[in-house]
Amino acid sequence: MYKSLLMSFTAILLCAGVALAHGSGPGTKSVKLTIKGTGATAPVGNTGPNGQCINTGDPWLDGYTGTCSVPGNCSCSVLSSPTISGSGLKTVANFFVTIDAGVNPATASAVGAGPVPECDLVLGIFAVTDSSSNSTTLNFLGASCKHVTKISSNNPSGTNDKDTMSGGWGISDTPAPTKSISGWGTFTGTTIKATNAVSVSLSGWATTD
């Protein structure tokens, strides 16, 4: 269920004192960050009738309610006990992910007893805070795909040991950042099936006044 998470995303963020590597111009920094945690079913009150995340305080996810490609094919996950490293950030919270299992680019079914192809649409949000208590919310969008190993005559469908994710992110205007900032970039991530351990790395740019 955390097959998309996510959540697996090193990368960016920003809050005015957020640090970084190389600047491309006045007020612009390249930033990187890594978020880790455990994928879990979202708490009661955060999921819609079709399983999407709702009531997150951000229209990026809340606006997806009712538009699940196939009713019942969406699921909502949350990253529990998340930690964050990189770019001078202190905390990460409200990491919600909607996985739409009805959106899969592999429309041809598996042949014989081979692996079942599956990549699903993933979208989510999370909030970060720096050491000065400045907060910013990020939106992300991408795909989560099954990673299969140990394919053999005795195990023709293979073993789905983890899910991998990749896509893009951007700074949300809702809720508004506590300091003026903009930014965007890419992310990659993994979710280990046996433990639901999630790791997401983001990278990109952030610009502040």
What Rg value do the Cα atoms of the chain yield, rounded? Answer: 18
Listed range (33-37, 156-160, 200-204) with the worst mean pLDDT: 156-160
Candidates 134, 171, 154; CA nearest to 16 is 134
pLDDT of residue 26: 53
Q: pLDDT tens-digit profile of 35-61?
A: 999 999 999 999 988 889 999 888 899
- Three-state DSSP state, 125: strand
Domains of the chain, by residue range, sit at: 28-208
Structure tokens at 2: 């955390």
Structure tokens at 140: 């992300």
The answer to whether residue 190 scores a pLDDT higher than 60 is: yes
The residue-averaged pLDDT of 174-183 equals: 93
The residue-averaged pLDDT of 132-149 equals: 94
Q: pLDDT tens-digit profile of 70-123?
A: 888 899 999 999 999 988 889 999 999 999 998 999 999 888 888 889 999 999
Structure tokens at 34: 């890594």
15 DSSP 8-state letter = -
